[in-house]
Structure 1
């Protein structure tokens, strides 16, 4: 793995390099304090395409936004992350397109959080020493998707997949069998069919080592939210990257999710925050 660190302030560059080494101890870490040096490296036939480029937005001789565009022209797959003390640039930075931005001073924890979020959004596993959190990655913005180690999880029954989506939507709050049936079907089937769905869902989760994701107690079911990384949950926690990824669509493959989407779209978070408090 090759990583570029770019800052025209030498002290900041050394600090960024130090923090990156903690997160990517085995990576080839290349530092630059001049934009021309970056372009010379990228033009060299023997250069390796960087997986990440961490750069300041305000650079000597060229705005970091322009340099980011040049990097992406050479290496379209490079993940661009801006490191800046100027928050006013944040929205413009996202239009590069960049995958994230970090406010200075950059720390090891900020880097780990940003990388985990980026890789979860891309549906790829962290590389080269980046942190593994052993969680299911759940996407709710747009369509509902579940990924494990960067690969979409295959469900034996589509209705079992929808059952999991409903439990994710409830953010760890338990539901009775009757409540689940009322949401998933206009005319509830036999109770035996719901048990069949639970069995199918458990079978899928067992195949990827998440037997304990479902929490069953008598007639109630919930999920252990600590075992998933979900864009909805990060959005409600104020994560700026998650907020940026919400484009007005939420689990658009399920009609019952329109109610939640309406609250997200209109900024009505009171019920969500109450649910979050109850599950702590």
Structure 2
């Protein structure tokens, strides 16, 4: 289940997220101190449960819960507050449960069970024409169905075939190309047999999930007919937008947990992996040149270095940022990190430009 946390206190967000990590089927996909930023993210990102604080400065959680349920009727809301007097109002907006701070683990477990039952009933009573899935592709790869159950692949090649066809975005792929990309060092007779078996297993997997014709085959071309939303599509939408949005930037920072299919060893995916990485870096470079919010600029710089940790220009820019914000302690800490990374790991000296900047500041 995909969970979003909304609270105007950072400590409360940290505690709730830490407690939820004990539930295997719960995945925190976003945490926000600004409720309207969370609402905007929900327009493009699937969420099952929202843990919502009631008293958030100018925004009252009861009123905000009604906004969520009007726009996203499938979302289950769990109200969280230090004030027990709001319990009846919480249930008036169809909150599935009401938790008092500090959150009790046993009480939280009961609330999660209520949501599981509620989602189960909704799925049982709703006949959908289209079965949809969500793919997490940044860092590791995971594909989940409508009930947030991960798909288990019979073989690695079944998973690879799905990804290869899916990344063609509905464009038919010739049988010969599929065989060449997935079995480059296998003779044609064996490859044909392996392809037929893998296609059969992939069709069978999606048929179990209610998709009758997951792969079509016409004129020697294969096409994937599965509705899949994904983190990579969300990233592409953000990076291709002409206007920068701090909310979108925060969403990208949250989504980009690693390179595209980083944990897989598919040779055919390396080109796209590089393209996505470069588009994200170019986007973040735009952000640091435009945004005035120092916390957001710092987050962008750190993400750039997460993506390309040996890029000297990014190292220099982060040190310049710490100098401009007069954050000497962070500058010292990060410079030691540079020394360790370059001198100890790679056996090379810290670039003169970076060294001089540090010495002039400290």
TM-score in terms of structure 1 length? 0.54
Task: Tell me the residue number matched to 1:229.
Answer: 229
Gaps of 5+ in 1: 32-37, 45-49, 54-69, 77-123, 270-280
1:159-198 counterparts in 2 under 5 A?
Answer: 159-189=157-187, 190=189, 191-198=192-199
Note the C-alpha offset of 1:243.
5.5
8 Å contact from structure 1 (residues 214, 223) kept in 2: yes
d(CA) in 2 for partners of 1:172, 1:19: 35
Q: SS in structure 2 opposite 1:151?
A: coil
Note the C-alpha offset of 1:199.
1.1
The question of 1:7 aligning with 2:56 is answered yes
d(CA) in 2 for partners of 1:30, 1:203: 41
Aligned-residue Cα RMSD (Å) equals: 4.5
1:108-147 counterparts in 2 under 5 A?
Answer: 127=119, 134-147=131-144
Task: Tell me the residue number matched to 2:103.
Answer: 74
The question of 1:260 aligning with 2:272 is answered yes
Task: Tell me the residue number matched to 1:246.
Answer: 256
d(CA) in 1 for partners of 2:169, 2:193: 25
Task: Tell me the residue number matched to 1:114.
Answer: none
How many pairs align? 196
Note the C-alpha offset of 1:164.
0.4
Q: SS in structure 2 opposite 1:183?
A: helix
8 Å contact from structure 1 (residues 26, 129) kept in 2: no
> C-alpha deviations, 1:168-215, integer Å up to 9, x for none?
222222211111122112213421221121111111111111223323
Note the C-alpha offset of 1:142.
1.6
1:194-205 counterparts in 2 under 5 A?
Answer: 194-205=195-206
Describe the shift of the 1:167–1:51 C-alpha distance in structure 2 as closer, same or farther (beyond 3 A): farther
Task: Tell me the residue number matched to 1:19.
Answer: 67
Describe the shift of the 1:203–1:26 C-alpha distance in structure 2 as closer, same or farther (beyond 3 A): closer
Task: Tell me the residue number matched to 2:82.
Answer: 39
Q: Specify which structure has the higher proportion of helix.
A: 2
Task: Tell me the residue number matched to 1:119.
Answer: none
d(CA) in 1 for partners of 2:177, 2:166: 15
Q: SS in structure 1 opposite 2:171?
A: coil
d(CA) in 1 for partners of 2:74, 2:144: 26
Q: Report 1 or 2 for greater relative contact order, CA contacts < 8 Å, sequence distance ≥ 6.
A: 1
TM-score in terms of structure 2 length? 0.44
Note the C-alpha offset of 1:165.
1.3
> C-alpha deviations, 1:234-263, integer Å up to 9, x for none?
221229335631133221213322221111
Describe the shift of the 1:164–1:126 C-alpha distance in structure 2 as closer, same or farther (beyond 3 A): farther
